[in-house]
Amino acid sequence: MPNRSEFINQTRRWVVKIGSALLTRDGEGLDREALADWAVQIARLRQQGIEVVLVSSGAVAEGMSRMGWKERPKALYEKQAAAAIGQMSLVQAYEENFQQHGFHAAQVLLTHDDLANRQRYLNARSTLRHLVALGTIPVINENDAVASEGLRLGDNDTLAALVANLVEAELLVILTDQVGLFDKDPRKHDDAQFITEGRANDERFLAYAGGAGTSIGSGGMRTKVLAAQRATRSGCATIIASGRESKVLERIYSGEVLGSLLLADSVPMAARKQWIASQLDSQGKLWLDAGAAKAIRETGRSLLPVGVTRVDGEFERGEVVSCVDEQGELLAKGLVNYSSAQANKIKRCPSAAIEQILGYVDASELIHRDNLVVL
């Protein structure tokens, strides 16, 4: 693995995610002193030539505080109201603090739909890249005030990883109230071993990760490991570190060993495949036999109708579907060439029979390998 200091010095674009626990006083609203310190650290990174995109939690917690709520609301409309109320204070605080150091903040609110729709995804990517080129510090959050419960990204760790893909960041820094990843929960096990470095796609890491640690935040260590795995799709490494450490961002930049560094171990995906992989929801599911599953898993071949044993859900041509093996394990996602009704007719059939069954042939594959992402 590369020397950490040398690796950090080669990075020029960071996505920094700051969790609710680090921005609020345990649910008592924004910690403005802490927020001012984050602004100082980010400004110093910018002065060193590091382009920074900030993914910030805290809107819901600030809204809760302003409304006098002690527990995170459960009803969707209450969460949306809290987000709308708190977002005003959050962005105003960032703008005031960044201006003191000669930088402008730029608010960007994203939803699942913005990232699921190809055109809006490309628009979001262009906007973010231009904001970075202009020298601003984009402050990004999920648009909780309008997002539907079933179509939410769910946590800002996931959002931060998707943003890292969008802007082609080289480093994702996830700051939390834990020092990093352990092989077991250090709050319960005295012999827990700290993971200093590793590969993001190491299968053991998800098993090590636990659940959410506070009532204010919505994520846990598991969401952070999943975020690191998503970030690798664009070749982005991730550091999961404690935001309680003094000047943590500056110390990470200096090469100090803080947090867990999870490296990408694969060639970055093409932009189109990154978008396919970023889809959190699929319109349907294709069940594959053992031969098709092996061909996709080991060689990334196209999916042919003959290898599909079952079709679940309703979808149209061009929509994203999931591919699972005989045990239901997710293998891949891809853009399908036929609707669910058509796929049901041609499943288990050789490609040469498509025209006879459907009356025409659009493609010999259900999913072409150029539109298929192995996960």
CATH of 282-374, one of 1.20.990.10, 3.40.50.970, 3.10.290.10, 2.30.130.10: 2.30.130.10
Cβ-contact 223, 176 below 8 angstroms: no
Q: Identify the pLDDT of residue 213.
A: 44
Q: Is the pLDDT reported for residue 218 higher than 50?
A: no
Question: Rounded mean pLDDT of 165-194?
Answer: 89
Between CA 96 and CA 73 the distance in angstroms is 29
Of the candidates 227, 209, 219, the one whose C-alpha atom is nearest the C-alpha of residue 158 is 227
Rounding to the nearest 10 degrees, give the CA dihedral for residues 352, 357, 362, 364.
-30
Q: Domain map of the chain by residue range?
A: 4-268, 282-374
Model pTM? 0.82
Q: Is the pLDDT reported for residue 28 higher than 50?
A: yes
Do the domains 282-374 and 4-268 match in fold?
A: no
Q: Identify the pLDDT of residue 118.
A: 82
> Residue 58: which pLDDT band, with cuts at 50, 70 and 90?
confident
Residue with tokens 């995906």: 269
Pairwise pLDDT comparison (291 vs 74), residue with the higher score: 291
Cβ-contact 250, 187 below 8 angstroms: no
Q: Is the pLDDT reported for residue 370 higher than 80?
A: yes
Between CA 104 and CA 106 the distance in angstroms is 7
Q: Name which of 76-80, 323-327, 359-363 the model is least confident about.
A: 76-80
Cβ-contact 77, 145 below 8 angstroms: no
Between CA 114 and CA 94 the distance in angstroms is 24
Which tens digits make up the pLDDT trace of 254-279?
999 999 999 987 678 887 888 888 78
Q: Identify the pLDDT of residue 277.
A: 83
Q: Is the pLDDT reported for residue 46 higher than 90?
A: yes
Which tens digits make up the pLDDT trace of 128-150?
999 999 999 999 988 766 655 54
- The CATH architecture of the domain made up of 4-268 is 3-Layer(aba) Sandwich (3.40)
In order, the DSSP letters of 3-17 are -HHHHHHH--EEEEE
Between CA 256 and CA 9 the distance in angstroms is 11
What is the pLDDT of the chain when averaged over all its residues?
88
Write the DSSP symbol of residue 305. Answer: G
Give the whole-number percent of the chain exceeding pLDDT 90: 57
Between CA 120 and CA 113 the distance in angstroms is 8
Cβ-contact 309, 288 below 8 angstroms: yes
Pairwise pLDDT comparison (347 vs 148), residue with the higher score: 347
